[in-house]
A = this chain, B = another copy of it.
Amino acid sequence: MCAIVGIINSEHAAKSAYYGLFAMQHRGQEASGISANFEHKISTIKAKGLVTEVFSEEKLNTLKGAMAIGHNRYSTAGKESGNDAQPVAARYALGEISIVHNGNLVNKKEVRESLVKNGAIFQSNMDTENILHLIAKSSAPKLKDRIIEALKEIKGAYCLLIMSRKKVFAVRDAYGVRPLSIGRLKDGGYIVASETCAFDLLGASFVRDVEPGEMIIFEEGKDSFESIKIFESEPRICAFEYIYFARPDSVIEGKSVYEMRKRLGSALANKSCEDTCDTCGNIKAKADLVIPVPDSGVPAALGYAQSANIPFEMAIVRNHYVGRTFIEPTQEIRNLKVKLKLNPMSSVLAGKSIVVIDDSIVRGTTSKRIVEMLRHAGAKEIHMKIAAPQIRYAEVYGIDTPNRDELISAKKTCAQICEYIGADSLEFLSIDELVKALGDERKYSLVSFDGNYFIK
């Protein structure tokens, strides 16, 4: 995932970048960094930790100037990546440059091999360094053209912000897999950010999304921005942004994430239960309660409850003093953390038939543990509904899913998973239902579900 933000032509740009990163902290908690441009010199501060941990008031104040770019790094399961914080700032033929990026390059290895064969050195594992090298080795006299040349050599799902002496370039890949939006700050400056929730905190107004395949060029002191279409666009926003990743208060491609999640819940309520699982019976008729697995399951559970007309209860309490399960590195800790984080209330659950709404099943271990806890709390029947299709394939476009052999849906049927997690019934959305709920007027990146790796 990761979050990126750019601030252009606004006083204290680094401070606004800081708040933008704060609003998008959910997209990455491992490392944080900001480059600011003061009198055409670029200064960078970056380190491991949350944005509030990396920056003190004092440090932030050293990052002066009206242009800044920032990054929250998402931890990649299982590997230490202490040196891999962004932005990556460097000096190249045309001067100083700094770059942030999210997403993933699929031809990274080939590009890197070709670069090192030609004399490049790599000091990190980040894709960002590839892009920097491609820009640096271009012989085009203008940065804009160098960036275009570089982008033509890479393949992947990414968003990029590149800050030079006087400009900030914002790029989204041809498919627009990751979101990137443009907003206008109150003082007239621009903001570019992965999610619109960053605009809300800063009081910025939404201008428009960066288009798939488009490069936007902001310039120092200039009130408008330039647009260049680099690639033929073929939009395929990542369905996972709606399902799980984005903050519910963000609006992606014109659609409220919260509303989309409610629609996924409604879709679950409206599906005929034979579709995926013969064990479910007619739950909607007899369930006493609908409960979400908080926090990401809440909107879908509300959608389900409203459609199915069953009472909604927040019967699992979440302790927010711990981080997200999805990010934790080892199986052993994750199990402990489920218990540290979620507590079902027997006062609400005892003797009840319940519909539990969650956003996804990855390895199955968390769901298994949740079902156990719900049983222990006295639930009579537990009907698990997942507001997404089965995850059968590894994501490679910027989301850190485990290898295929760890994905329970890659190996088991819905009924087998139901048995494994110990629920009375289990349902997923079908891919069609997902697409229909999100709006079938356009395409989505669905690789985790259908294995159609459209960027190769």
Contacts and interface: CB of A to CB of B under 8 A. Distances in A.
A205 B230 CA distance: 63
A108 to B, nearest CB: 13
Contact of A314 (B91, B117, B197, B299): B299
A312 B317 contact: no
A379 B99 CA distance: 39
Contacts of A299: 314
A248 B317 contact: yes
Given A121-B132, A122-B92, A251 B22 contact: no
A431 interface: no
- How many protomers of this protein does the assembly include? 4
B317 A249 contact: yes
Interface in A299-353: 299, 302, 306, 311-315, 317, 319-321, 339-340, 343-345, 347-348
A227 interface: no
A136 B112 CA distance: 13
A136 B133 CA distance: 13
A347 B256 contact: yes
A4 interface: no
Contacts of A25: 319, 321
A272 interface: no
Interface string A93-134: 100000000000000000010001111111100000000110
A340 to B, nearest CB: 7
Contacts of A311: 306
Contacts of A132: 121
A23 B319 contact: yes
**Residue among A118, A249, A317 facing the most chain B CB atoms (10 A cut-off):** A249
Contacts of A339: 201
Interface in A14-32: 19, 22-23, 25-26
A314 B344 CA distance: 20
B91 A121 contact: yes
Contacts of A320: 295, 320
A90 interface: yes
Which 7 A-B residue pairs are closest in the complex by CB-CB distance?
A119-B137, A256-B347, A249-B317, A90-B121, A320-B320, A91-B122, A121-B136
Given A23-B343, A91-B123, A197-B317, 19 more contacts: A22-B319, A52-B321, A91-B112, A91-B121, A116-B136, A118-B137, A119-B120, A119-B133, A119-B137, A121-B136, A200-B343, A201-B339, A247-B319, A248-B314, A256-B345, A258-B317, A258-B347, A258-B348, A302-B312
